[in-house]
Amino acid sequence: SKNIPISGPLIQAQAREIRRQLGGANPDEFKASNGWLEKFRTRHNIQYRTICGESAAVDIATVEEWRDRLSSIIDEYDPNDVYNADETGLFRYCKDFLKSSVSC
């Protein structure tokens, strides 16, 4: 609901943690395997897709806080050692899990 992309390993790790919290007999036997993940995706209508565009909402206060923090970090380096990667899009084509109802 917060437009935060998630990955398969993140879902699997969270499922293992929930299983440990629930306890019961042999909680460590649940492995959240790739097969389990595929069935979970099918059951909950989740697709693995490339996110396109930048439509997710951004918290302006967080951006401004990070901008201030980044400035103080950069000040510690020589300008010749700083690479400007503004709008480089390092993760532009990474795939994430999305509900099928979400469109690009």
Instruction: Classify 13 as helix, strand or coil.
Output: helix
Sign for the pseudo-dihedral over CA of 13, 15, 20, 21 = positive
Kindly state whether residue 2 falls inside one of the protein's structural domains: no
Is the pTM here over 0.95, yes or no? no
Kindly state whether residue 39 falls inside one of the protein's structural domains: yes
Kindly state whether residue 3 falls inside one of the protein's structural domains: no
Contacts of 83 (CB under 8 A, 6+ apart): none
Two structure tokens written together for 33: 């395997």
Kindly state whether residue 58 falls inside one of the protein's structural domains: yes
- pLDDT tens for the chain, 104 residues long, are 456 677 888 899 999 999 989 987 887 888 999 999 999 999 988 887 766 655 456 678 888 888 888 888 888 888 888 777 665 555 555 566 666 665 55
* Structure confidence at residue 75 (pLDDT): 86
88: containing domain: 8-99
Cα angle value 73/74/79 (rounded, 5°): 160
How many domains does the structure of the chain reveal?
A: 1
Two structure tokens written together for 67: 């901008």
Kindly state whether residue 76 falls inside one of the protein's structural domains: yes
Kindly state whether residue 1 falls inside one of the protein's structural domains: no
